[in-house]
Structure 1
C-alpha cells in the first residue's frame, strides 16, 4: 500500500508512471461555431437553427437595451439573422459569426433610432410609477432617448451589455480609441441630461 512517506524521489516517478493519463482535448467554441457556419453554407438547416439558438437571446437583449422596446427588439433580431444568412458569403472568417451577426443587429438598431429621431415626437400621458425602481427605469429610458444613436449604442453595449472596449469596437466596426471617446462623451451627456430630468421630475 502506497503511503505519504513513499512519495519521495524515485517513488514519485514510479507512482506517476503507474497512473493512466487520458488526454482530454478542449473544445474551442469558435472552431465549433465555424463548423456550424460551414454546414450552414452547405444547406444544413439543423446547423442554421443551432446558430440562431446560440445567439438569439443575446441579440434580442441587446436590441431591447438599445431600442427600449421588446417587441421591436424581436423584429430586429429576426431581421439581423435573415440578413446575416443572406450575406454569409461576406463573412471571411467563419469563426467570427457572432461578431458578424451582432454588427448587423447593431446597424439595424442604429437605423431605427435615426428614423425615430427624425419623426415628430408623440406626447404620451405621464404614467404614475408604482415604486422607485419603475420610476428610475422610465427616467433612464427618457434620458437614453435623447442621446444620439452612436453615443446611446456605445453606452448600452459597454454599461448594460458589459462588453469590453474591444468587443464594443468589433461590434460597432470602429477603433477602440473611438469607443473610448464616444463612451466618455456619452457619459458626460447622460449625466447632464439626467440632472435636468431629475430636476424636472422633482418640480411636478
Structure 2
C-alpha cells in the first residue's frame, strides 16, 4: 500500500491529476472521520476535509517521502481542525438535538447495522457521554486521544502529526485518559 501511495505521489508531482484523485479516494473517508471527531460537526468536517486535500495538492512538492504520506496528510487535517477550534468554540456535538426532530441526536442519525433497540440506546448514551467529555478536553489532549484511539495511529505517527516528541504524546494521552477516567468514575458513583 505504501508503495502504491508513493507511486501516486510521484505521479502527482509530475502533474497527474488523476493520481491525486486516487489519493483522495484512498484517504477521503479517514480524513473526514478524523475532522468530524475533532470538530463534532458534519458540515465543518466536510469543509475541513476538502481544505486538507486542497492544501495537500498545493503543497505536494513539500512532501518528504521519508515519512508516511498518511502521517503528512493527517497532520494537515489536524492543524486545520485545531485552527478552526481556536477560532470558535464548538457549538455542535454528537449528542446535540437535531432541529425539527423529536429529540433525535446527530449521533442517532448515523447509519448502523441495526442492532437491537436497547443496545442502540445504551451504546448511544455511552458514546454520547464519551464524545461530550472528549470534546471538553483541552485540544492538545483531545487530539492525542483521537489520533491514538480512534484513528489507531502509532505514537511515532502522532508525534509527527502534532509536531511534538513521543514522550510528550505519551503524557498527553495519559493526561487525557486520566481526565476522562475521573469524569466517568464520578458518573458511576452518582448512578
TM-score (norm 2): 0.76
Q: Contact conserved, 1:33 with 1:95, CA < 8 A, in 2? A: no
Aligned twin of 2:179: 189
Q: Distance in 2 between matches of 1:100 and 1:51?
A: 13
5 Å-filtered alignment, 1:9-88, equals: 29-88=1-60
Contact 2:39-2:85 within 8 A present in 1 as well = yes
Cα offsets for 1:118-168 (capped at 9, x unmatched): 88xxxx779588722111222112211210111001111111222221222
- Bigger drift between 59-68 and 110-119 goes to 110-119
List per-residue Cα deviations over 1:32-90 (Å, max 9, x = no partner).
32221121122211111011111111111222222222332222111101011111222
C-alpha root-mean-square deviation of aligned residues, in Å? 2.8
Tell me how far 1:182 sits from its aligned partner.
0.5
Question: 1:141 and 1:197, CA in 2 relative to 1: closer, same or farther beyond 3 A?
Answer: farther
Aligned length: 170
Tell me the distance in 2 between the aligned counterparts of 1:37 and 1:45.
10
Task: Identify the residue that residue 116 of structure 2 maps to in structure 1.
Answer: none
* Alignment TM-score, normalising by the size of structure 1: 0.72
Say if 1:38 and 1:63 are closer, same or farther in 2 by CA, change over 3 A. same
Give the superposition deviation at 1:193. Answer: 2.8
Cα distance in structure 1, aligned partners of 2:171 and 2:145:
11
- Tell me if structure 1 keeps the 8 A contact 2:147–2:153: yes
2-structure distance, mates of 1:184, 1:153: 12
Q: Which residue of 2 aligns with 1:98?
A: 70
Question: Structure 1: 5+ residue runs without aligned partners?
Answer: 1-28
Q: 2:150 matched to 1:178?
A: no
Of structures 1 and 2, the one with the larger relative CO (CA 8 A, separation 6+) is 2
Gaps of 5+ in 2: 106-119
Of 102, 111, 114 in structure 1, the residue corresponding to residue 86 of structure 2 is: 114
